[in-house]
Amino acid sequence: MSLLTETNKANLLMKRDDITAILDNINNPKDLKKLNNAELEQLCSEIREYLISTVSQTGGHLASNLGVVELSVALHKVFNSPNDQIVFDVGHQCYTHKILTGRKEAFKTLRTENGISGFTRPIESEHDIFSSGHSSVSVSQAIGLAKAKEIKGEKGKVIAVIGDGALTGGLAYEALNCCDGFCGNLIVVLNDNNMSISQNVGSMSKHLTTVRTSKKYFTFKSRVRRALSRMPMLGGQINRFITFVNAKIRRKVYNNATFFEDLGFRYYGPIDGHDIEGLIAALETAKAHTHPVLIHINTKKGKGYIPAEKNPTQFHGIGKFDIETGESLSGGENFSAAFGKTLCELAAKDSRICCITAAMAEGTGLSEFAAKYPKRFFDVGIAEQHAVTFASGLAKNGMVPVFAVYSTFLQRAYDQLIHDVAMQGLKVIFGIDRAGFVGEDGESHQGIFDVSYLNTVPDMSIYAPADYNELSLMLGRSIYHDKGAAAIRYPRGGTEAVTELYNYDKSDYAVIGNNSSSSCIICYGREFKSCYEAYAELDDTFLIKISKVKPLNPQIIDELKNTKHVYFFEESIKTGSIGSVLAEMLEEKGINASFKHIAINDEFVKQASVKRQLEKYGLDRQSVINEVLNGKENEA
């Protein structure tokens, strides 16, 4: 049985054997211009089928993309990209945009090594304006683009597409606050697919939106205004009075308009985001304006695929799945789940423990905690800066806040981490999920920077567990033994036990093998597995596994006194990393061992599987073996 919705199945049945599928003939946005509304609707059905089929094989952001198919088609129907510039906030909902802008065939390579990205990337197409991946940035970017066009005298509109989720981020409001009278060529499309910003007044609101977005109405209003402007004295007064009355009526009918129009926008909405005809009418009206416009549309996440409609959170970012059942083809225990389980166990005994997430409760393993301890669980939306400062307030009044956050998103709260937590000497625990390589999400999501930027924060402790047992021990240690802020960083996905049982204790590091050997391998976190397996195959080599990477225990240097060659392997950007700190310590102590630091150089890591990324950067088992053997050969 097909899990396509009835509406989508009905649309798909419109195809006939003697008619070529419309999508087959769409190679660039210009091909949309000649299609009528019925053909556009069929095109949307075909795109949905293509999205579901492809993402089931590659994984990706499915629910959000199914929700913006009509919007993406309407945008490219009305506007002329790239002269009109479309900026997608976050960029995770850009799949239809990619299909329509010359990447239809390449779309089959979505999120694969050397394939196309799951986010917008200018390197792929001139239709992708920015390299995206983080939230709440589109309006700021669009204002800059629009103002540059005005200064240079270039024609064209700039359209920011932002979701209600991204509108929970403070940067979006900073940008909206700057729009009044600033850019006449700016259009903001608010894609509201879950959280209602405010109530609208039913059918009257919808009816007036239909009237106000009609070309006839807008043309008539413009003509009246021009005629009145030509009348000496009286015309200006009448025009101002009409504007005043119009604004009063809009505020009574459209609650949303009060907020957005106070910020200087012409507001249209809410509009059915799956109604091609209505969307095109609204966008055409916005295009004719010489004033900032905000179009508020309502869409359904997962539109057209029953499992995604029923569970949009699961299908927000999903791996490979079975189309017929909607069931994920990947699973099993992982670090996120282990983190959440341990927190629940600790919270059952300690009422001070609170959890904070930035719209990532399920992704960071906190769903169970949220259900068991709702009064101590806080989802602050996509607002990492607020999350950290909010945590500082909790800590100041005696709570123990734990902020679970993806490594790539904690970057946004660097200032708050320094000023509001560390400088205040407060105990805030950071569960840094997706640390290290994250695979197919690409450059914007790799968790390779947190070690380096956290390393600069005074009195900050950083732990790097190699498996779930260590994760549990380190979480308890950071809560009950460390004085100030602490971070526990762990990778995406699960882990496999090493070939020999590791002796867990509360020490900062462990020495495995004979420290009088000529070569030493040093590592931490996920890299322990590769390094341990390599160590097991090498002669005259010992291994140091670091558990607490900041501050580094100075006794580690004493372990290296008789060593000729030191190899430090870490899944981090090299500059400012733990390996860099260790190299300085070796030099200061006068240890003459040669030091080789294998980490990521000054670059952004592109999409590929984690396995391939580890191989590429010399961090897999065989690369570790080769590195040590090459050192021994060079010595000989």
The whole-angstrom separation of Cα 277 and Cα 415 is: 46
Does 16 participate in catalysis according to the annotation? no
The whole-angstrom separation of Cα 34 and Cα 30 is: 8
User: Any idea which residue has 């053997």 for tokens?
Assistant: 629
Q: Check if the beta carbon of residue 159 is closer than 8 Å to that of residue 146.
A: no
User: Any idea which residue has 């197409």 for tokens?
Assistant: 125
The HSE-up count of residue 502 (CA atoms within 13 Å, CB side) is 27
Residues forming beta bridges with residue 431, ordered by sequence position: 404, 488
Report helix, strand or coil for 546: strand
Residue 544's alpha-carbon distances to 50, 461, 462, 532, 539, in angstroms, are 49, 19, 17, 9, 15
> At residue 566, what are phi and psi to the nearest 5 degrees?
-120, 130
Query: Active site residue: 48, 77, 111, 412, which one?
Result: 412
Does 301 participate in catalysis according to the annotation? yes
CA torsion sign for 486, 491, 494, 499 is negative
In 3D, which of 624, 620, 607, 52 has the Cα closest to residue 315?
52
Q: Which ranges constitute the DSSP H helices of 460-603?
A: 468-480, 527-537, 555-558, 578-588
User: In this structure, what token pair is assigned to residue 304?
Assistant: 């057209």
Query: Active site residue: 384, 440, 527, 571, which one?
Result: 384
Residue 345 Cα to chain centre, angstroms: 29
Does 635 participate in catalysis according to the annotation? no
Query: Active site residue: 98, 212, 301, 550, which one?
Result: 301
Q: Check if the beta carbon of residue 201 is closer than 8 Å to that of residue 208.
A: no
Q: Exposed e or buried b for every residue in 339-364, given b needs 16+ CB within 10 A?
A: bbbbbbebbeeeeebbbbbbbbbbbb
Active-site residues, by number, are 301, 384, 412
